[in-house]
Each structure stands twice: as structure tokens, then as C-alpha cells.
């Protein structure tokens, strides 16, 4: 193993000691410790939900042996880049060494999820990225030597490269250079399965690509020759425009079409949400860092068969399932896309309609991987993304510490102190799930109207609706019908008022007093939300 981690600014470390430290860093980077996949690295998911989809995804992994040379990759085909044998590159700027290494290890996990084989890694300490090659010039040439020695064909940089930086680094290393944003976009492109998800990912990719067209190889400067190139053709900027200008125009046209398609899909999602709202069904959104166990928790709470996989961004399309609280109230549970540090802005914008599922929920279950080396950092990263979604600041948040069966006792003790009102569970084993159900029940908003009515036996459908969408306080059966005391929403209270049966003991239009002593046929707003 060669020396891979040095500083351009301080050369006081002895060469042998510096090499030993470099080898230790690379070993830690190539190991799974410290990544979002670390806590589940040895688990076998073959018998769990989503086996068919896992097999399908395995069939779309990158195939070794296909060329990744810069000259052979056209501008508009960059989404099909073969990320095969890669070397990782990271900079330590203003954080600690541990933070820089953790970020690079997460990049390794992302690369593995994309189907790459990680061969090596470089971590350099600098005050700021080099404007020309991201790394310093000496380190860039050292990287080129590592690439030749390892037989790598791709460099993945743990950051977002400016077009000039990527061009400059490619000129030195002579292989494909991809940054963190492009890698995440590539993973999303592999995992998207719904029509809306595919459109959102493609839009994000094109938004990323558009300002970077000029840097993807010399082939982009081709221009039609002869009289057409001289501007004499019909339509001066038709056949005579350069290939890069033609691609830019095509990309802008495609982006406009995708935005229109996504807008056309939004009413359907909005209608579905409105339908659930009209029924008075509260909603709970599961949010959290990628691979925190959100889909496993959804399956445990609802009996769903959502895909469970030991990879990053396994879930892209929201999965909505219906379930009940311990006291019988119905609510919906929505599994959403996972977040990650430095989530590309293009993805947040493209997935805006999907993230609205979180912004319009009644409760947010914030799932945290308690076995991860930096769970607090994960929480901060997720909250940073949630802060960009309108309305989330007013939604109650339940911190769910998942994978407690894998977490060290001292780690759990620290998390209990940091998040004193959190709930500890293991979605895989079922530990703590009943306690979590109780917390969800207590946090969900209650119907606002308290009613005391007698429903005739001929309207059993309304009694069923009260059980489904309301909260029954008491239920008795008398001669003329079912006597219900329940909390319901305004629409259901109106329906109940239309069929109320008056009794001799208490008329149907009795008035509710301020201390909530209710009589049959009455309804009152009790202030509970």
C-alpha cells in the first residue's frame, strides 16, 4: 500500500510514519465501519420482503470490463457511465480527521451501492480545494500513479466539483472523474421504479448536467463544416451550432417536458392525500437517514412487504400503508426517501412533490440508526433537509432509535441523554415496537368534536365509520339504536346529527355544557387536536 494521505502544508512527519498513517486511513476507508451500512453489514436479507426487487436490482449492477475512458463517453450519455473500479478522493478542510474519514467511508458505501468496486482512497488536508484540480497538483499526480498501479478506471470525489476542477483533474489522471452529486444521482437512476420517480430523477440529472456540458470530453466542440458552419445555412443556428449548443438546447427542451409531466402527476397525489383527509384519517411519515431501517419499521408496524435491502437509497417512491393504534384508531404510515449528508440540491427540488408527504403529515417518525458511529450527525443532516420542507417545523417529531440490538450500551446511554424523549426499538426483532405504537397513539391528533348520539340500528354503516375514523369513548345498545359517545370530525358529526334518534330521557337537541357533560344528539368542540 502506498502513501495516500498527506498534507501539502506541513511536511514534518517522517516518511515511514506518514506512510503507516496513510495505510491505516485507507484500511479504515475500505472497511465498512463508520458507513451508513456498517450496522447491517453482515445481515442476510434473502428471506425478507422485496426479494424479487433485490434480484432485479442486482441484475442492473455495473458490469466490469466495459470501458470508462473519457474519450468514449458522450455528453448526453453520462448517466450510463460505468462506475467500475474506483479510487476515492476526499479533502479534510475545517473538520476533524474522524469526520473526514467518516465522510469518505460513506462515499465508499455509496460507490458500492452504485455497483462499483472500491480499490483505494486518498484523503488530503488543505485549507481550501485547489481551483484547478481540487487536489493539489502534487497530490493529483500521485493519484494518477495510484490509478495506474491499481488499474482503476474512475475517480469519485467526496464533494461537488466545478466544471473546471473536473476538467483539470481529468487532464491529470486521464480517467473518468465523478463527484459525490453525480454518484448519488446515478444511484437514484438505478433505483427509481415509478413513472414519477423516474421523471424526478431524470430532471435532477439534467439540472446537474446542464452547466457542466463543456467539460465532458473534446467531442463536445464538434461543429458542422462547410458553408453551414459559416452561418450560410437556412436557420443560422440550426445545423451550424456546435454539438454542445445542440445538446444544451435538447436538454432544456427535455427539462421543460419533465417539469410539465411532474406537474401533471401532482394532482393525483394531491387527490389521494385529500381523500385520506376527508375521511379524517391522520397520517404519520417515516423520515430519516438512508439505511436507518425505515422500510423495516414500516413492515413491522403495518405488515407491509416493502423492499428491505442492505444498501443506500433502497426506497425512492413513497409507500403508504394503513394501520391502527392500540385503541383502534386508523392512521396511514408513509415510508419516504432517505436523506444523506450534502444531499444534492437538484434532488431536493426534483423530489419536492414527494417530500410534501412529510410536510402534510400529522406526526414525523424520525428513525435514527442507533448503531451508527455518528447518529447525532445523521439527525442533524435529516433535520437540515426537513427544514427546507414547508410546514415541518410545526409537526410533532418522535425520535425512534432503531437497531438498539446492534448498538453498544455506551452509545445508547449517550443517545438517551442527547434525545431524552426518544423511543428505543429494533424493527428487525420487534423490540420496543409496542411502546412505539403507544407513543404514536398519544401523539396523533384526536378528532375535535365530542358527540353523544343514538344511531338507529338501520345505520350500522355510520357506527362502523365512527369506529374507523373517530375515537369511541363509550358504546351501549338500547331499544332504539346504538348509543355512542365519541370524538369525530366535523363532517362525520354532521352525518350523525342527521340520523340522531331522540330518547325520552334526553332530547336530541340537548345542549352541551362547558364542562363536557354531553347528552344524546349533542356535539361540542373540546379543543383536543
Give yes or no: residues 384 and 435 share one domain. Answer: yes
pLDDT in tens, 377-392: 889 989 988 888 888 8
DSSP state of 130: B
More confidently predicted of 355 and 509? 355
CATH number, domain containing residue 425? 3.40.50.300
Percent of the chain with pLDDT over 90: 22
Alpha helices in 31-175 (DSSP H): 51-58, 97-113, 137-150, 163-173
Longest dimension (CA), the chain: 100
What pLDDT score does 505 carry? 41
Give yes or no: residues 382 and 479 share one domain. Answer: no
118 φψ region: left (φ > 0), alpha (ψ -120 to 50), beta (else):
beta
pLDDT at 89 over 80: yes
Give yes or no: residues 258 and 383 share one domain. Answer: no
CATH number, domain containing residue 69? 3.40.50.11060
Q: How far is it, in rounded angstroms, from Cα 499 to Cα 522?
A: 12
503 assigned to some structural domain: yes
Mean pLDDT of 177-199: 83
Work out whether strand 363-369 and strand 319-324 pair parallel, antiparallel, or are unpaired: unpaired
* Residue 7, all three cell numbers: 498534507
More confidently predicted of 45 and 390? 390
What pLDDT score does 344 carry? 75
pLDDT at 156 over 50: yes
DSSP state of 470: S
Give yes or no: residues 355 and 426 share one domain. Answer: yes
pLDDT at 292 over 80: yes
Mean pLDDT of 108-112: 87
Give yes or no: residues 142 and 234 share one domain. Answer: no
Res. 306 pLDDT band, cuts 50 70 90: low
What pLDDT score does 425 carry? 95
Give yes or no: residues 414 and 341 share one domain. Answer: yes
103 assigned to some structural domain: yes
What pLDDT score does 275 carry? 61
Give yes or no: residues 290 and 381 share one domain. Answer: yes
Give yes or no: residues 508 and 391 share one domain. Answer: no
48 assigned to some structural domain: no
Number of structural domains (the chain) is: 4
pLDDT at 412 over 90: yes
Mean pLDDT of 264-289: 74
The chain-wide mean pLDDT, for the chain, equals: 75
pLDDT at 5 over 90: no
Give yes or no: residues 93 and 63 share one domain. Answer: yes
pLDDT at 203 over 60: yes
> For 49-58, 84-93, 161-170, which range has the lowest pLDDT when averaged over its residues?
49-58
Give yes or no: residues 355 and 427 share one domain. Answer: yes
77 within 8 A of 63, measured Cβ to Cβ: no
User: Which residues, including other chains, have CB under 8 Å from residue 137's CB and lie 6 or more apart?
Assistant: 130, 172
Give yes or no: residues 136 and 250 share one domain. Answer: no
Give yes or no: residues 503 and 358 share one domain. Answer: no
378 assigned to some structural domain: yes
> For 278-282, 403-407, 489-493, which range has the lowest pLDDT when averaged over its residues?
278-282
436 assigned to some structural domain: yes
- The pTM of this model reads 0.67
Q: Domain range spanning residue 460?
A: 449-525
pLDDT in tens, 344-375: 777 777 667 667 778 888 999 999 999 988 89
pLDDT at 179 over 60: yes
Mean pLDDT of 39-47: 54
Amino acid at each position: 500500500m502506498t502513501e495516500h494521505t498527506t498534507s501539502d502544508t506541513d511536511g514534518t512527519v517522517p516518511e515511514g510514519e506518514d506512510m503507516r498513517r496513510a495505510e491505516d486511513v485507507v484500511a479504515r476507508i475500505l472497511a465498512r465501519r463508520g458507513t451508513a451500512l456498517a450496522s447491517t453489514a453482515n445481515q442476510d436479507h434473502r428471506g425478507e420482503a422485496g426479494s424479487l426487487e433485490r434480484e432485479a436490482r442486482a441484475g442492473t449492477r455495473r458490469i466490469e470490463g466495459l470501458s470508462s475512458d473519457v474519450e468514449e463517453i458522450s455528453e448526453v450519455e453520462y448517466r450510463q457511465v460505468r462506475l467500475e473500479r474506483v479510487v476515492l478522493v476526499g479533502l479534510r478542510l475545517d473538520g476533524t480527521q474522524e469526520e473526514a474519514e467518516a465522510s469518505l467511508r460513506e462515499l465508499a458505501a455509496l460507490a458500492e451501492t452504485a455497483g462499483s468496486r472500491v480499490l483505494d482512497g486518498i484523503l488530503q488536508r488543505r485549507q481550501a480545494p485547489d481551483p484547478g484540480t481540487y487536489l493539489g497538483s502534487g497530490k493529483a499526480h500521485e493519484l494518477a500513479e495510484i490509478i495506474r498501479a491499481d488499474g482503476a478506471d474512475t475517480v469519485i470525489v467526496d464533494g461537488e466539483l466545478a466544471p473546471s476542477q473536473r476538467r483539470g483533474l481529468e487532464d491529470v489522471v486521464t480517467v473518468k472523474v465523478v463527484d459525490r452529486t453525480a454518484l448519488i444521482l446515478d444511484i437514484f437512476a438505478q433505483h427509481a421504479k415509478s413513472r414519477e420517480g423516474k421523471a424526478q430523477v431524470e430532471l435532477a440529472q439534467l439540472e446537474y448536467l446542464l452547466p457542466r456540458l463543456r467539460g465532458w470530453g473534446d467531442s463536445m466542440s464538434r461543429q458542422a463544416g462547410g458553408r453551414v458552419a459559416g452561418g450560410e445555412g437556412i436557420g443560422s443556428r440550426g445545423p451550424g451550432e456546435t454539438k454542445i449548443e445542440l445538446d444544451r438546447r435538447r436538454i432544456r427542451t427535455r427539462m421543460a417536458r419533465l417539469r410539465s409531466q411532474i406537474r401533471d402527476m401532482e394532482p393525483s397525489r394531491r387527490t389521494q392525500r385529500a381523500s385520506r383527509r376527508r375521511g379524517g384519517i391522520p397520517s404519520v411519515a417515516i423520515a430519516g437517514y438512508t439505511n436507518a431501517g425505515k422500510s423495516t419499521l414500516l413492515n413491522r408496524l403495518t405488515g407491509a412487504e416493502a423492499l428491505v435491502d442492505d444498501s443506500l437509497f433502497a426506497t425512492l417512491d413513497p409507500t403508504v400503508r394503513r394501520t391502527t393504534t392500540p385503541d383502534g384508531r386508523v392512521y396511514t404510515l408513509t415510508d419516504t426517501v432517505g436523506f444523506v449528508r450534502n444531499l444534492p440540491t437538484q434532488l431536493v427540488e426534483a423530489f419536492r412533490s414527494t417530500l410534501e408527504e412529510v410536510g402534510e403529515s400529522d406526526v414525523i417518525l424520525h428513525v435514527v440508526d442507533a448503531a451508527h458511529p455518528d447518529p447525532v450527525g445523521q439527525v442533524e443532516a435529516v433535520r437540515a433537509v426537513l427544514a427546507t420542507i414547508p410546514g415541518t417545523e410545526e409537526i410533532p417529531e418522535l425520535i425512534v432509535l432503531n437497531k438498539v440490538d446492534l448498538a453498544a450500551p455506551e452509545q445508547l446511554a449517550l443517545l438517551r441523554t442527547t434525545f431524552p424523549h426518544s423511543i428505543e426499538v429494533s424493527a428487525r426483532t420487534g423490540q420496543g415496537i409496542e411502546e412505539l405504537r403507544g407513543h404514536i397513539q398519544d401523539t396523533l391528533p384526536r378528532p375535535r368534536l365530542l358527540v353523544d348520539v343514538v344511531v338507529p340500528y338501520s345505520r350500522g354503516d355510520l357506527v362502523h365509520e365512527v369506529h374507523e375514523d373517530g375515537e369511541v369513548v363509550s358504546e351501549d345498545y338500547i331499544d332504539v339504536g346504538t348509543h355512542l359517545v365519541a370524538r369525530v370530525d366535523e363532517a362525520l358529526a354532521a352525518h350523525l346529527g342527521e340520523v340522531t334518534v331522540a330518547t325520552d330521557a334526553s332530547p336530541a337537541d340537548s345542549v352541551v355544557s362547558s364542562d363536557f357533560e354531553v347528552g344524546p344528539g349533542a356535539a361540542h368542540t373540546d379543543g383536543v387536536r
